Structure 1
């Protein structure tokens, strides 16, 4: 918090001295000096060590002094909801987040994070981007707002963790839940009350009763972030099998990076996506199999099917918002049809 206050204070002083025109001017760095980036992730300190620190460390070592990425965790420099604006303005250089929670000013932001039932397994996310064309749509959308979308990957599923057992849809009614914006909007039809608080405030909020549940992650993140200690139950049903998140950079800052370092960072991002695939997949299984103190509960499949059906109606509502959103929804429907036709183990 001290770092964040000092950062914002110094940034404000510099902005006042420079004036609007200078603040908006492209950043120029001499090519004979080391390039330094500030990257902030959506993840808290403990989680960041697993989901982003390894690839940043690998890049910094391989860059051999030509470039260094400084990693900051959730809300450390700016609040998560202000990440996009800070990156767009050049206050920070790069971001690892989902589009939804960092409040991207693009129509497709609703598909970031946990778009209801867009994925059943983590592998669905990269397949949708790199075989079904979502990457081109994301590039187009962010080019329009001066930000370079770099790469997307999957994280964990979205389950409920609570202090009371959830065994039916009726049990969801009235729950004050910390979750993502679009997921929260979807869940309101089942009586859920979405609550937005800083990532690091979640444990205290659970203990004080400010929130009743967390629908932010799977069981691996519950344990890694320390939230397992303030909850008792874990609902095995999920509204998404894989969180969709990306790496982004300020458009001007990305252009300043030499091509060989751009390629190096792309390789390191890919290594991060790969690591998460097996870290989450194995973690979810082992913790459900007895490695967690949380008691597992389940809503019967026939009752949970109601939630799935409502999700597809929600897709159509989102598709009506823009032509680009309609393209994404069509891709999701086409993909779902292929997976269902393919059968087990795909669906």
Structure 2
């Protein structure tokens, strides 16, 4: 593992890692300084969080500055919640699942199988169907402020060998999220847990057969398209659910003006990702040259979607809060199906 990390560090230096810098600080001695860590590595953070934090720092000036750290830079991703709770970090950008939140909504963060079909589903679920209020209440119980949730990219397989049917998933060693891995295991997928920065080399050395962590935009952005040969067009979720979180005490200390600026900054980040991912996914499928597209026939993939609804019912039995969230997902998806085109095509 150490040699892998050294290899990656050396490769990053040779590639010009100096261009992947943290957001600029616009005040040497601000009145308030926060430390935020993202789930994303440097190349991905350049899109999913850095522009927004730079904007915040530029506007806040000597009132407040946010120092941004990349994946595992201060603490491992799986320890983000504990670091936030203790005050080691003031803020975090992650999904609930990856940072091991001790809440009843954790299982729905990241990729909840077939919970969404498009990225716009996520903000509607949180802002119009009640998920936002549930998240805020659940995190308040454990002393953390849930600031805002948004959508990222869909979840696809990027692999060394082609996937053309469900049987091709059997035995596939895949880096993925905890809940996604739990769901995919029934189809023979072998979920593998690794530090994010070790994934690329693990594919190269054969320790991994593939990745089910993102869409094609991230595959190209972070370098995974360089080490995988095929991209499966079927996905198990239309959008990753991620959030911004803050240490409750540190958030409560902020003046209202900075709270409002923080909200606007997060909204800006969510908007950037909406078009960056949506356009990127289509463009790279059409013009990308690094991975060959494959598909599992609809009649086979319908089995996976049917299994997801069985999975939902199992999750719902685990607690009242989980049952409430599952009912919201069911109602929302039923409403979208009734609404028809362009909300749902089948």
TM over 0.5, shorter chain: yes
Q: 1:126-141 counterparts in 2 under 5 A?
A: 126-141=123-138
For residues 178 and 293 of structure 1, the distance between their equivalents in structure 2, rounded to whole angstroms, comes to 20
Conserved 8 A contact 2:30-2:65: no
Hey, what does 1:114 align to over in structure 2?
111
Aligned residue number for residue 327 of structure 1: 324
User: What is the DSSP-based 3-state SS (H/G/I as helix, E as strand, rest coil) of the residue aligned with 1:214?
Assistant: strand
Deviation at 1:292, TM superposition (A): 3.6
Superposed CA RMSD: 1.0
Deviation per CA, 1:287-331: give whole Å up to 9, x if none: 000224110000000100000000000000011111011110000
1:242 aligns with 2:239: yes
SS in 1 for 2:158: strand
Partner secondary structure for residue 50 of structure 1 = helix
Alignment correspondent of 2:249: 252
1:285 aligns with 2:282: yes
Structure 1, unpaired ranges of 5+: 2-31
- Do 2:37 and 2:68's aligned partners in 1 also have CA atoms closer than 8 Å? yes
Q: Does 1:295 align with 2:292?
A: yes
Does the CA contact (< 8 Å) of 1:223 and 1:292 recur in 2? no
Check whether the contact 2:30–2:62 (CA below 8 A) recurs between aligned residues. Answer: no
1-side partners of 2:34 and 2:223: how far apart?
29
Confirm whether residue 182 of structure 1 aligns to residue 189 of structure 2: no
- The question of 1:85 aligning with 2:82 is answered yes
CA apart distance, 1:33: 5.8
Q: Are the equivalent residues in 1 in contact too, given 2:97–2:177 (CA < 8 A)? A: yes
The CA deviation string for residues 142-180 of structure 1, in whole angstroms up to 9 with x for no partner, is: 000000000000000000000000000000000010000
Residues 30 and 61, structure 2, Cα contact 8 Å, conserved in 1: no
Runs of 4 or more off by more than 2 Å in structure 1? none
Partner of 1:231: 228
- Cα displacement (A) at 1:80: 0.4
Contact 2:135 2:146 in 1 (8 A): yes
1-side partners of 2:209 and 2:38: how far apart?
25
Matches within 5 A, 1:1-347: 34-347=31-344
Partner SS for 1:245: strand
Unaligned runs of 5+ in 2: 3-28
The number of equivalent residue pairs is 317
d(CA) in 2 for partners of 1:109 and 1:210?
28
Distance in 1, matches of 2:321 and 2:165, equals: 36
Instruction: Give me the whole-angstrom Cα distance separating, in 1, the residues matched to 2:243 and 2:182.
Output: 22
User: Equivalents in 2 of 1:248, 1:314: separation in Å?
Assistant: 27
Distance in 2, matches of 1:80 and 1:162, equals 24
Q: TM-score, normalised by structure 2?
A: 0.91
1:16 alignment partner in structure 2:
none
Inter-partner Cα distance in structure 1 for 2:132 and 2:313 = 21
Q: How many angstroms apart in 1 are the aligned matches of 2:202 and 2:196? A: 10
Cα displacement (A) at 1:257:
1.1
